[in-house]
Amino acid sequence: MDLFEYQGKSLYQKFNINHPKSKLIKNIDEIEESIDLNFPIVVKAQVQVGGRGKAGGIKVAHNSTELKQHSEEILGMDIKGHLVEVLLLEEASNILEEYYISFTLDRSEKKYLIMLSAKGGMDIEQVAAENPDDLVKFHVSPSEKLTSSTISELIHEANLNQDYEESLSEIIQNLYQMFIEGDCDLVEVNPLAITDEGVMALDSKVALDMNAKYKHTYFEDLEEEIPIPDSEKYAKEKGLNFIKLEGTVGIIGNGAGLVMSTLDVVAENGGKAANFLDIGGGAKAETVSSALEVLEADENVKSVLINIFGGITRCDLVAEGIIEATKGKKLVWPIIIRLDGTNSLEGLELLKENPNDKIFIEGSMDSAAKLAVEKGL
């Protein structure tokens, strides 16, 4: 579960991670109250999407007039389809140097991965692409500790300011403890800054491992603060594994691995997936029908790719679900279908017996993805 910046910073308090003084507001009336912050104040939109600064979602106020003006401009703003309902007001820091640090799990190595760079404030993908030597990577086994000597070596290798080595080492250790003890999938700070008030984590990008929800009572409190799209709520009610994305090609598949592969093949053919939707290993007709109903609620979907490999799932039941969901309807988008595996011939025959001018059948995943991208333009 991805957290808002302010939620991540609330966890900073639990793990003694130095960060700027701030206040959360949800309406303009709260600006009139005593906010107990010193100017200049940074007004930050709280949305779960990157690029908010470029979109005008971060502004600096030097007095009360500017604070109210910027807050009115940002609150209610739409940033890449995300409505700004909460603002984080934060005392501006006098930044001397900006660094980047992150902790995540490298599944291929079965170890934790630390990434550290002296080029903070930039997109880390840009740093990795243009100056890979400026990004230090280090793996830590879950069975081992991150020692102070290792942290010192990383600080030196990344060319961070050694005059602040003690403070940097302390905050890096605390961030690592938050990552481990807080059961996080990701902890990213960009920038981790040296300021005239010491080393601070000025930003927060945190994702929690919700499999550990039973261990942390506060996980549920954080989850309740995160708005869920109506499509995801409906999918959850129907027992579907659904995640909304930002593309235009709707994806339906059976099994997380197959769905992930389908997303990749769509991308390879120049498209972007509108969602991740896994109907499960034993999907029946009503499951497929519900999946199509979920996608109908997403205005961004321009075409739908149904990719089924029948193992436990019977392709003829999937075909029945498609027919049931589309019969007599004027489809708003084309549906491209690829069936393979158990009872696939029977399923394909059923589709042929119930033709629809907006339903197309393809024999391979690649050709199906290619057509779905073309139809979605």
289 and 347 part of one domain: yes
Write down the H helix ranges in the chain.
5-14, 29-32, 64-74, 124-130, 148-157, 165-181, 217-224, 230-237, 256-268, 285-296, 315-326, 344-353, 365-375
Tell whether pTM > 0.85.
Answer: no
168-172, 237-241, 275-279, range with the lowest pLDDT:
237-241
- 338-363: average pLDDT: 93
Q: Which residue, among 309, 311, 322, has the nearest Cα to 350 in the 3D structure?
A: 322
Q: What is the pLDDT of residues 220-244, one digit of tens each?
A: 999 889 887 777 877 888 888 898 8
Our answer to whether residue 188 is catalytic in this structure is: yes
Lowest mean pLDDT among 110-119, 184-193, 273-282: 273-282
| Confidence category of residue 121, pLDDT binned at 50, 70, 90 | confident
Between the alpha carbon of residue 43 and those of residues 8, 71, 76, 91, 92, the distances in Å are 17, 7, 13, 9, 9
107, 214: one domain? yes
Helices and strands (DSSP H and E) totals, the chain: 13, 18
What is the pairing mode between strands 135-140 and 111-117?
A: antiparallel
Mean pLDDT of 202-206: 95
Distance CA 223, CA 204 (A): 17
Q: Does residue 174 lie in a domain region? A: yes
**CA–CA gap between residue 257 and residue 241 (Å, rounded):** 12
pLDDT at 107: 85
Give the single-character DSSP code of 135: E
> Is 105 part of a structural domain of the chain?
yes
Residues 136, 39, single domain; the answer is: no
User: Which domain range does residue 48 map to?
Assistant: 21-91
Among 48, 65, 91, give the residue marking a domain's end.
Answer: 91
> Is the residue at 4 inside a domain?
no
Residues above pLDDT 70, as percent of the chain: 99
- Specify the CATH number for the domain of residue 337: 3.40.50.261
Alpha-carbon separation of residue 251 from 61, 184, 231, 285, 359 (angstroms): 43, 28, 14, 17, 14
21/41 Cα distance (integer angstroms): 10
> Does residue 14 fall inside a structural domain?
no
> What pLDDT, on the 0 to 100 scale, is given for residue 80?
81
CATH code of the domain in which 213 resides: 3.30.470.20
Distance CA 3, CA 206 (A): 6
Rounded-to-10 torsion of CA 41, 46, 52, 58: -10
In this structure, the number of other CB atoms found within 10 A of the CB of residue 82 comes to 17
> Could you tell me if 127 and 264 lie in one domain?
no
Interatomic CA distance for residues 10 and 241, integer angstroms: 29
Question: Looking at the DSSP assignment, which residues form a beta bridge with residue 136?
Answer: 116
Please report, for residues 151, 274, 326, the alpha-carbon distance to residue 302 in angstroms, rounded to integers and kept in the order given.
49, 9, 16
Is residue 325's pLDDT more than 90? Answer: no
Residue 283 in this model has a pLDDT that exceeds 80: no
Question: For position 115, what pLDDT does the model report?
Answer: 96
Range with the lowest mean pLDDT among 42-51, 204-213, 228-237?
Answer: 228-237
| pLDDT confidence of residue 268 | 95
Q: Quick check: is 1 in a domain?
A: no
6, 12, 99, 100: which is the annotated catalytic residue?
100
Return the minimum-mean-pLDDT range out of 10-14, 33-37, 144-148, 273-277: 33-37
Q: Domain boundary residue among 190, 206, 222?
A: 222
Q: Is residue 7 part of a domain?
A: no
Same domain as 368, residue 302: yes
Q: For 133, what's the count of Cα atoms within 13 Å in the CB-facing half-sphere? A: 1
Question: Residues 99-105: what's their mean pLDDT?
Answer: 96
What percent of the chain shows pLDDT beyond 90? 69
25/74 same-domain check: yes
Q: Is 100 a catalytic residue?
A: yes
Query: Quick one: pLDDT band at residue 282, thresholds 50, 70, 90?
Result: low
| Catalytic residue chosen out of the listed positions 90, 188, 320, 362 | 188
Look at the chain and report how many structural domains it folds into: 3
3-state per-residue secondary structure call for 309-363: EECCCCHHHHHHHHHHHHCCCCCCCCEEEEEEECCHHHHHHHHHHCCCCCEEECC
132 pLDDT band, cuts 50/70/90, is confident
- Asked if pLDDT for residue 57 goes beyond 70, the answer is yes
pLDDT at 128 over 80: no
